[in-house]
Amino acid sequence: MKNKYIVCQRTFTYDLEQIANDWKVMNGNVAPTDEEIWELVKEWAEEDMRSPASRHDITWVDEDGNPLD
């Protein structure tokens, strides 16, 4: 085997602009603070990480960050 390491990662992407817009809709057009957005993303990430893994949110790369098939 030519690689020394294989890295497996779960990746979730959160659209901060969309989060802010949704927040405003739910909170009477009041914009969230950066801290409020950060707290919400942290909560979602904890929930997402506890969910069963799907093949769509796992990536495999070598030690140099090159994708593995």
Question: What does pTM read for this prediction?
Answer: 0.71
Sequence ranges of the domains in the chain? 9-62
CB atoms under 10 Å from CB of 32, counted, come to 19
- Which pLDDT score, from 0 to 100, does residue 14 have? 95
Amino acid present at 50 = R
- Which pLDDT score, from 0 to 100, does residue 40 have? 94
- Which pLDDT score, from 0 to 100, does residue 3 have? 78
- Which pLDDT score, from 0 to 100, does residue 34 have? 96
pLDDT in tens, 38-64: 999 999 999 999 999 877 778 889 999
